[in-house]
Structure 1
């Protein structure tokens, strides 16, 4: 196996195994001891090889929930995750994995590749221990116990390289299961709707259709002799087609390669959603396995150096570097691979948790990579034009009506946020699509239509979503000079009030909230935050509600309070910063630091809940540097930095956060300057951040008056 490249300082700080097992977090202190767990406390990440925003990943496959890696079964409640497999074992290496999601049912984990032992194809389904696992960004390796075959995989822009080392004197063969997919859990497996492939020379090329999506592949094994198999028996032919007759008895099928006994065997997989020829191009580039691994590592190093921190402990720097790594795994960039239109242009997949990504991860991506943001905007517009609606999630399937329980109208906020961040796009076209999809067709039949007729929808959290979506659309229309859209959207943006009970200052209880309760959704950022606070009875009463939510105060006798989820789940991930709208930066500072101290750590158990494609990790990236975005508004909020110095390398210039008198107990800001001038507010204008500069914070172990006077603004459309 290869050694981690020690000359890449940001890469070597990353631990790809962080978040792969049940959480083993620090003992909660103070208010953190009162927070509750809504979902299984496991990050659901995997350590496989991938590139930043990569199309393909590769990892050992056990069949476990939810990425295919590990030992867990399906669970959606807050208890420990159920163990589905007694030991940490694997069947081989699979391709395409989710990252940190909560539920994806049956997708991914395709073209399962297994080195064979003495029993040939008949031993292909035996689980093998995984000793000696190691990984760094772009590279994953280990050994299959019992057969003692060592494996390594490294990522390519549109493919994966495998390398296997067989014991001396042993047969050298690898089998690829083209029919594999999904998880080895009841009702979570995938079966192909079609397949066709052919061997030629030292390569096999073809296609398998999974969940309606054609996955074209080209696999080359230099020096290898290909064979085709079905149900653990070689067919003796050079080609295979999944016919209707075969579909009735659901065979397992695939191909493989034989090599010289006791030798190394290398495979290169190229993938495409359009053609096997395009998949073959993905592995045409010269270079050996080591060169590909180095290229992957350097690609990650350039990405991980976009935000740099200084000081802190070694564990904190590892947590931060790994959070950056997890933040840049998704969305998966399939540009040029649109399987629906077969036209060139931007195309992304693996948007399974857009309701989390829009708050932290997508603002992070668009801040650091405007060109990636522009491609993402174009992709969203293409989906809206083709499907008649903007997506809520987008997976590798052909189902246009996807998961709608969690949220709705998210793309309105995402697209307005992109515009505010200076992303280049045809914004008149974007606005027209937002308006049209909200007012007609599927929009008229959706919750947008219900909202337009009744000014409230269930779940009530969706009422907040749609009101905010109209605010974002109105702001975009005002900037572009579209008065009719502005006026109509403005009139529809005010009905968030209908979701609240003025008697309690909270969202009404007569609703079905997903993965949380009315308390967890009650403190969401709105555009009219001052009006929201007034509805709760003013600053003092709003703070009192937040204090009960976070555990600073106990509930009254008989009062039922659902506490902060502590980032075990993300409905309330922005809520620690809600205190800033009342002038209580001290409360924000205390909560944010407690989250970072008690809810994150190093090691496989280092995350408090689903990473949700980087939604959780990107919260840590922002918060550890002392900042937090407000999606759809030109604001960056100031928190309590985990590190004494953090530098964002932005297109408009470096933005640095420096702290004097920084320490574990110095969580409060006593005073601040921005570019040498006194700053009397706990927030920045977005342009102040984007253009670069220096924010200097003087920290203290006692609360101060910082942030008490000039509060973050409320916005009118």
Structure 2
């Protein structure tokens, strides 16, 4: 099998297996020992081959929860995940995987590709032990034990290349199950709504409809002959169609390739398209070595966008892997829109937009504004076509998207794109935001209820919609739309209705999804000064945060829900809330304990679902010493983990230097921005985007840094 290229040092630091198994973290110390674990302690990542924001991925498939890779069954609690399969095993290689999600609607894993043994198709469903795995960004390989077959897969822009090595004397043979999809546990499988394919010169081509989405494909195998099969039996026809009668019987079906005696390897290539067969044919991947090299070059370039100096080898590995996981989703399907069948930006796998909008999308918008501009255009296309902006968006044709977790997130995403300098027709963007919020689905849904009553349930959605109006008001002021500015500004004030002045927290008379009122009470709102006053001022607000994080004990009879330690992400920005009350020292302490106790190397290196990179991008930001406030022109200063971190931004390099930084030297004594003293724990967006150098002198004890000049609060 191949080795990672020596000329790609950052790629070699990445461990794609990190987060694939139950958390095996350092022993929590101090306040970290008091944090709450409400969800399965596993990252739910997979080591499969994919490109940056890649359309296609390929990975060994066992049918386990949630990516199709691994051994686990369905688990929704903080207990150890149930083991569905006794050993590490697989049926073959599947294509299109989620990344680090929890329970969602679609689980993909299409075109299951299985090397066959001497028993041919009859043994196609025999599970194989999985050993000798190796992976780096863009490449994944291993060995199926019982058949002693090695495999290697590499991802291309719209295709995948496979290579299989068979034992001496065995005629190479590989089967592709076109009917496969989803998981093999808890009724999470998928079955086609339609399919048609045929033998053709050099391979097989056709389409299959999964979850309402047509996936056109072409598959070729070098020097091999192809045939079609159904239910483990070869069929003589050169054409297969999933008729209505066949669909009622739900047979398995697909095609297979037979190689040449005496040639122990077989390489096959897929090309995919959601639009038509010609595009699928054009996307067929090239030779394995070529595809691996191209993928490595692309990943090395992307991983070099942030350079770090210092830190331990383990910390550097965790950072490189976090950067890798931050750049897998959303999947870029540009020119592959299956609904309009027209060219243009198109993205899928917005499975956890409620996490991505806080951390991962600001990272993408900052480092790669061209991709950010494409994402803005995609969101507008969806809004025009569907009459509303998405909260999640998967590879399916389901009109009612998941809305339990959040509401109006795209308002924050789009305003964040604007303040980060993304190029777009912002008058058009604002018109779509306002129209979809105040008419159609918006008027009939939570936006309309909010406008009528000043709040909605869950109360966390009240905060969402209030913030959405704040973002529209800011955008309206920029483009000069006075009517929208006046109306949105007025509606943005209702976030206060969600809080109980007696407790300083969100009211308890509500339902909260994946968390409790405490977990959502320290989210950033646009007017943090007023939020702090509701809690009784700085002292009261800090007192609540201290109980939440474990610095202080609850009063007798008081029910406190603790910080989730990034096992779940509703409260991922909460450590930075201290900055608005002038307590940078508390922020620094929490951040270092999170990075010390909740992230490590190895397969168990994540505290919970990576959530499509939302968790990993939290680490990327926090380890460099900065944190975004989505939708506001503000970057918060935390406690950098490395001696130096440099963002290679389009407007110029921005470096964060941490002098005297050490394991217990995580407080800031003083700061200098471009050679001048900085007496605040935050940056203006322009100070970040235009490049510069922030030098932080670190020390072991609190110094009062950031106490007086707080991050800004906004009315509108």
Q: CA deviation at 1:6?
A: 2.2
1:260-286 CA-partner distances (Å, limit 9, x unpaired): 1352101110000001110110127xx
Counting only pairs closer than 5 Å after superposition, residues 113-512 of structure 1 correspond to structure 2 as: 113-261=113-261, 262-283=263-284, 288-512=287-511
The answer to whether the Cα contact below 8 Å between 2:106 and 2:396 also exists between their aligned partners in 1 is no
Distance 1:227 1:107 in 2: 28
Aligned residues: 715
* SS of 2:466 mapped into structure 1: helix
- Which residue matches 1:570? 569
- Which residue matches 1:579? 578
Q: CA deviation at 1:222?
A: 1.6
Q: CA deviation at 1:107?
A: 2.8
* SS of 1:378 mapped into structure 2: helix
Query: Which of structure 1's runs of 4+ aligned residues deviate more than 2 A?
Result: 104-107
Q: CA deviation at 1:671?
A: 0.1
Q: CA deviation at 1:678?
A: 0.1
Distance 1:255 1:320 in 2: 42
Distance 1:411 1:288 in 2: 40
The answer to whether the Cα contact below 8 Å between 1:113 and 1:177 also exists between their aligned partners in 2 is yes
Q: CA deviation at 1:105?
A: 3.8
1:417-437 CA-partner distances (Å, limit 9, x unpaired): 000011011111100000000
Q: CA deviation at 1:85?
A: 1.0
* SS of 1:321 mapped into structure 2: helix
Distance 1:429 1:629 in 2: 25
- Which residue matches 1:623? 622
- Which residue matches 1:678? 677
**Which segment is superposed worse, 666-675 or 446-455?**
446-455
Q: CA deviation at 1:236?
A: 1.1
Q: CA deviation at 1:112?
A: 0.3
* SS of 2:5 mapped into structure 1: coil
Q: TM-score, normalised by structure 2?
A: 0.99
Q: CA deviation at 1:587?
A: 0.3
1:179-220 CA-partner distances (Å, limit 9, x unpaired): 000000122000000000011122100000000000000101
1:660-716 CA-partner distances (Å, limit 9, x unpaired): 111101010000000000000000001100000000000000100210111001012
The answer to whether the Cα contact below 8 Å between 1:31 and 1:552 also exists between their aligned partners in 2 is yes
The answer to whether the Cα contact below 8 Å between 1:417 and 1:631 also exists between their aligned partners in 2 is yes
CA root-mean-square deviation: 0.7
- Which residue matches 1:112? 112
The answer to whether the Cα contact below 8 Å between 1:227 and 1:234 also exists between their aligned partners in 2 is yes
Q: TM-score, normalised by structure 1?
A: 0.99
- Which residue matches 2:610? 611
Is 1:646 the counterpart of 2:670? The answer is no
The answer to whether the Cα contact below 8 Å between 2:224 and 2:259 also exists between their aligned partners in 1 is yes
- Which residue matches 1:713? 712
* SS of 1:425 mapped into structure 2: coil
Distance 1:595 1:33 in 2: 11
1:159-180 CA-partner distances (Å, limit 9, x unpaired): 1000001111012110000000
The answer to whether the Cα contact below 8 Å between 1:105 and 1:182 also exists between their aligned partners in 2 is no
Counting only pairs closer than 5 Å after superposition, residues 691-706 of structure 1 correspond to structure 2 as: 691-706=690-705
- Which residue matches 1:9? 9
Q: Which consecutive residues of structure 2, in runs of 5 or more, have no partner in the other structure?
A: none
Q: CA deviation at 1:401?
A: 1.2
Distance 1:327 1:104 in 2: 19
Q: CA deviation at 1:238?
A: 1.1
Distance 2:390 2:106 in 1: 20
* SS of 1:494 mapped into structure 2: helix
The answer to whether the Cα contact below 8 Å between 1:226 and 1:256 also exists between their aligned partners in 2 is yes
Distance 1:640 1:442 in 2: 43
- Which residue matches 2:98? 98
